[in-house]
Amino acid sequence: MQKITESVVLFVALMMTSFGCAKASEASNFNSLPSKPVSESPELRGPQPAIGEQAPTDTQLEALLTVCYPTPGSQVCPKVYALKNHPLANSDYRYRDPFTDPSFPGANPERYRKPLHVLDLTKMNLSLKASKNFSFGEFLSVSKGPLAILSRIVLERLELMRTDFGRGIQITSGYRSPGYNSGISGSAAWSRHMYGDAVDLVVSGFSVNGMKRVCEGRGGFALTYEDGHVHCDWRTVPQDADFFGQSSKSGLQTLAEIRSALSADLVIEFKQSDSIGHLSVTGESEEEGSLTREWKLRNLESGVEYFSSDLEIVTALEPGPYSVSVTVGQALVSETEIVVE
């Protein structure tokens, strides 16, 4: 009887040892498995559903993405949404493809990619500060598109420009949806206002010459207008990745290259009626009004020169050959020769 009891005890002990080793081996194998990769940004994962709750949809997860704008002492981080999934993304948000559209002027298509994400203005308080001195409402308006883009480079450079001017800057236009932009007479099909990195501005006490210099001094491309405002955009810097994603190409142009490419589209037109010459220039869209003109005519025989800042020249001219040049918006230049009979 004693031997039977000892055998049972030994059997139980062996079974317990085997079971414990198996559990230890199982735990060892589990800990040696690679951990499940997670996003580096916790906000991109979204809240984990409790037991019994339904997991968030892709659209709900998209709404967890944010873009942060630096404000004094804190950050304002409005949500951004996928443009392709948004219910407000109607025909007003049909961006053209610069790589396939034959109307694209051919300069730097990488800078004209369709945005991936947008701000939903119907869910934002536009009176909030986007930076130290500027509010969202100075750049964004539901009437010009309930979905919008505001590049952080614009705020960064405008704050620097405000310091340069030593006074406030009035923003007369910011983001415009493609649909809204197309409804403006003379609007550019590829306006930078549709990409969130362009503004029209006025600064009290400064001429268009002075405003243009400050804009370009902060890396912007500037055009001057007859009504006293300046268009300033930052097509010379990479697009904001939070809205457009990472660019696979650099594709950036210098200011000189941009001016040269746009100047190539200008055409000087000359008509003559008796001794009256009529000169005009076409080719640059004037979506925000009339761009400034600076004309210079020189009679190649007599050497007499004629200057004008009128939009068009209508005047009596001495017969003979002339060289003609015009600077548009203080940035684009076109030249030609004419013969006055």
Alpha carbons 215 and 196: distance in angstroms, whole number: 16
Contact 229, 200 (CB under 8 A): yes
Task: Give me the residues paired with residue 230 across strands.
Answer: 201, 224
Helix 208-217, helix 152-165: angle, nearest 10: 130
In 3-state terms, what secondary structure has residue 141?
coil
Distance CA 311, CA 268 (A): 12
DSSP single-letter state for residue 129: B
Beta strands, E only, 162-266: 170-173, 198-202, 221-224, 230-233
pTM over 0.85: no
Q: Which domains does the chain have, with CATH numbers?
A: 58-262 (3.30.1380.10), 265-340 (2.60.40.10)
Residue with structure tokens 């709404």? 63
Task: Give the containing element (helix H, strand E) for 28.
Answer: helix 2-32
Q: How far apart are CA 236 and CA 233, in angstroms?
A: 8
Alpha-carbon distance values, 76 to 128, 132, 152, 163 (Å): 8, 11, 12, 22
CA 203 – CA 144 distance, rounded (Å):
23
Distance CA 60, CA 79 (A): 11
Q: Which residues contact 65 (CB under 8 A, 6 or more apart)?
A: 43, 44, 79, 80, 81, 117, 242
**pLDDT tens by residue, 164-211:** 999 999 999 999 999 999 888 766 788 999 999 999 999 999 999 999
DSSP string, 208-220: HHHHHHHHHHTT-
Per-residue pLDDT of the chain (341 residues; tens, 9 = 90+): 444 444 433 443 434 444 444 333 333 332 333 333 333 333 333 344 444 445 445 454 455 689 999 777 778 899 999 999 899 999 999 999 999 998 887 667 888 999 999 999 999 999 999 999 999 999 999 999 999 999 999 999 999 999 999 999 999 999 999 999 988 876 678 899 999 999 999 999 999 999 999 999 999 999 999 999 999 999 988 889 999 998 765 667 788 888 888 898 899 999 998 889 999 998 766 667 889 999 999 999 999 999 999 999 999 999 999 999 999 999 999 999 999 99
The Cβ of residue 174 has, within 10 Å, a number of other Cβ atoms equal to: 24
